[in-house]
Every structure is written in structure tokens, then in C-alpha cells.
């Protein structure tokens, strides 16, 4: 009998085929039930496996970092970095994130009716919301709300679908205090908008995989200028989290064909509520002034 080492899986397809043979009780590699579960979860969400740190991914999967290291070694890699490289190659060289999401939607229980798919999406979003709240650092959350209230200027930045989140957060904060707005509200360009900010001002940024390069660059430049960056992103291993003063990871796994926004919106609402709570009577007065002005404008129409 040959004692040769089995070939190392170098593509996501190799890992999928390996899992299939293991489920059939075959294959040259032997993995325990927990290791198979972990590998299956990584294959199911390759973008998270690609961008998460080993400690973050271990926490998400409910195992220790050493479990991931041992799994990688059993598969023929020197360590976790080698296994993670398979997923990174897939998300950078393979199909696009969005077409992967659509394929997952079309492949999932195709016989379900529309209401069943909506119910399943609701369960997934509920799980995302629960995981978001459970993963928040209370001190960081309180400090972030304080910055939103006390900073001289606050700007919010997001592109693509996160532009709507940025607009919502800036609008809500603008109801409570002055000088809070989208970063490039007048469309003069991000560089010009950043030039209006000073050290100690706050920039809230939002993006997740596949990260918008211009948003990453904006956050990096802002941080170098002493602007305090608050990041709403998908993981603690996100490139936004690495430059942020405070970062809040938001799981976004669902059948939706793009990045799920439900948990992001909850986090934005939570930050606004905490900001309103800290402002107290001052925030209430701002809301009343706004209502008065709206009333006067309506009477003039």
C-alpha cells in the first residue's frame, strides 16, 4: 500500500470535493466531525474565510485558533495562512462576489415558494442582528456615541449601497446636532471634503467585502490626519477595522444577492439612539426646533 502524502487542496473546488468524499467515508485525509464542520463553514462563506484573522474566524466558528491551525496542517499546509490563501485566491481570482451570492440564492431549495424564501431570509437576518449585538464592545459603543455628540464636526461616508446607510446616519445625527453631514454632500470630491476636517473631528465609514477601494483609501487618509474614524464593517479583520479608532463588526450572511443591510441599519439606529440619550434636553430642543421650522415651511407653501 502506498504511503504517499495525499495532494494538498489548492482551490476551493478541491476543498469542496474533499468534503464530499469525507461525507461518504472516503478520502485519504481523515478529519473529525468538528474539523469537517469547520471546513464546511469556511467553504460555504469563502469571503469571510479570506478576510478574517485566525482569532476572529475561530470565534465566529466556535472553536479555538489552534483548531484552525491543526486543520490546515492536516490538509497539508504549514499553517493557517496557507489554507487561508486558498480562499483569498478564490475571492480575488474567481467569480465575483455578487454572482456568487446570486448563485447561492438560486441553488438554495429551489422548490420553496416565495413566502418560504422570505421566512428563511428573515431568520438569517435575525441571526445577523443577534450576532451583531452580542459582539459589540459596550465601552467602545458608548465611546463612539460620545464622539458623535462631542466632536466639532462629524462626517459619514459610504459608497454603493452603503451610501444609503451613510445618508441615513448623517440625516439622523443632523436632527440632533449641528455640523453633521455626508462627507461629500456638495459633490466637490472626497479630497476637498477631507480638507475641511481637522484632527479630532470624526469620520464614520461603512463598507464590507468586497470592500470599495475609495472608501478604504478615504479612511486611511483620514486616520493619518488625526481624524477619528468609526468603522461599520463586516469583521474585525476588515481593512477598515485596522485603521479605525472604533470598529463594529456586523455579520451579513443571508440569501440576499448583495451585502445584507439589516444589521447595519440596526447598529446605525442604535448609535443614533445613544447619541440622543447623551444629548438629553439639548437633543430634544434640537428636534423641537426642527419640528417648528417644518411647520413654518408647510404653512408658507
Position 85 scores a pLDDT of 86
- 268 in helix, strand or coil? helix
Is residue 271 within 8 A of residue 169, CB to CB? The reply is yes
Give the model confidence (pLDDT) of 21-49 as tens digits. Answer: 887 776 667 788 888 888 888 887 787 78
d(CA 147, CA 118): 38
pLDDT at residue 99 in the model:
52
User: Is the Cβ–Cβ distance between 256 and 263 less than 8 Å?
Assistant: no
Residues 47 and 100: their CA atoms lie apart, in Å, by 10
3-state secondary structure of 55: helix
Quote the pLDDT of residue 229.
97
Q: What is the mean pLDDT of residues 147-167?
A: 94
How confident is the model over 235-259, as a mean pLDDT?
83
Closest by CA position to 180, among listed 158, 197, 159? 197
Cβ contacts of 159 within 8 Å, gap of 6 or more: 207, 212, 214, 215
- The helix (H) or strand (E) run that includes residue 103 is helix 97-107
In angstroms, the CA 113 to CA 161 distance is 27
Task: Say what the pLDDT of residue 171 is.
Answer: 93
What's the pLDDT score for residue 165?
A: 94
E strands in the chain: 154-158, 180-182, 202-206, 228-233, 246-249
Residue 279, pLDDT score: 84
Alpha-carbon distance 111 to 129, whole Å? 27
pLDDT greater than 70 at residue 100: no
**Pairwise CA distance, residues 184 & 112, whole Å:** 43
214 to 69, 153, 159, 222, 278: CA distances (angstroms):
34, 21, 8, 12, 32
Task: Find the mean pLDDT for residues 263-291.
Answer: 86
CA-based nearest residue to 38, from 22, 18, 58, 55: 58
Prior bond to 118 cis, omega within 30?
no
3-class secondary-structure state, position 232: strand
Residues 76-96 have pLDDT tens digits of 888 898 898 888 777 666 555
How far apart, in whole angstroms, are the C-alpha atoms of residue 136 and residue 143? 12
- Mind listing the pLDDT tens digit for each residue in 196-214? 999 999 999 999 877 888 8
pLDDT above 70 (res 261): yes
Where would I find the H helices in 136-238? Answer: 138-150, 162-174, 190-195, 213-224
| DSSP-assigned letter for residue 211 | P
Residue 89 to residue 20: CA distance in whole angstroms: 21
pLDDT recorded at residue 232 = 95
Average pLDDT score, the chain: 83
Name the DSSP letter for residue 257.
Answer: S
Query: pLDDT tier at 167 (50, 70, 90 boundaries)?
Result: very high
- Give yes or no for residue 138 having a pLDDT over 80: yes
Amino acid at each position: 500500500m502506498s504511503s504517499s502524502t495525499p495532494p494538498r487542496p489548492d482551490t476551493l473546488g478541491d476543498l469542496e470535493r474533499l468534503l464530499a468524499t469525507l461525507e461518504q467515508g472516503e478520502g485519504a485525509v481523515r478529519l473529525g466531525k468538528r474539523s469537517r464542520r469547520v471546513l464546511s463553514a469556511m467553504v460555504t462563506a469563502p469571503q469571510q474565510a479570506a478576510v478574517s484573522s485566525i482569532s476572529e474566524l475561530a470565534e465566529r466558528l466556535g472553536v479555538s485558533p489552534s483548531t484552525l491551525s491543526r486543520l490546515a496542517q492536516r490538509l497539508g499546509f504549514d499553517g493557517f495562512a496557507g489554507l487561508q490563501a486558498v480562499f483569498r485566491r478564490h475571492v480575488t481570482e474567481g467569480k465575483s462576489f455578487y454572482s456568487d451570492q446570486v448563485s447561492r440564492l438560486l441553488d438554495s431549495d429551489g422548490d420553496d415558494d416565495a413566502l418560504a424564501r422570505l421566512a428563511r431570509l428573515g431568520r438569517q437576518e435575525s441571526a445577523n442582528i443577534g450576532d451583531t449585538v452580542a459582539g459589540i464592545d459596550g465601552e467602545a459603543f458608548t465611546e463612539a456615541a460620545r464622539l458623535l455628540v462631542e466632536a466639532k464636526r462629524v462626517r459619514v461616508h459610504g459608497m454603493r449601497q452603503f451610501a444609503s446607510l451613510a445618508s441615513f446616519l448623517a440625516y439622523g445625527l443632523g436632527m440632533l446636532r449641528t455640523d453633521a453631514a455626508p462627507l461629500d454632500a456638495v459633490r466637490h470630491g472626497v479630497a476637498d471634503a477631507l480638507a475641511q476636517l481637522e484632527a479630532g473631528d470624526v469620520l464614520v465609514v461603512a463598507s464590507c467585502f468586497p470592500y470599495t477601494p475609495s472608501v478604504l483609501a478615504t479612511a486611511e487618509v483620514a486616520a493619518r490626519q488625526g481624524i477619528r474614524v468609526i468603522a461599520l464593517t463586516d469583521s474585525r479583520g476588515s481593512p477598515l477595522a485596522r485603521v479605525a479608532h472604533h470598529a463594529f463588526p456586523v455579520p451579513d450572511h443571508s440569501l440576499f444577492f448583495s451585502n445584507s443591510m439589516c444589521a447595519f441599519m440596526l447598529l446605525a439606529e442604535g448609535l443614533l439612539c445613544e447619541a440622543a440619550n447623551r444629548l438629553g434636553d439639548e437633543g430634544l430642543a434640537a428636534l423641537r426646533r426642527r419640528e417648528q421650522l417644518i411647520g413654518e415651511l408647510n404653512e408658507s407653501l
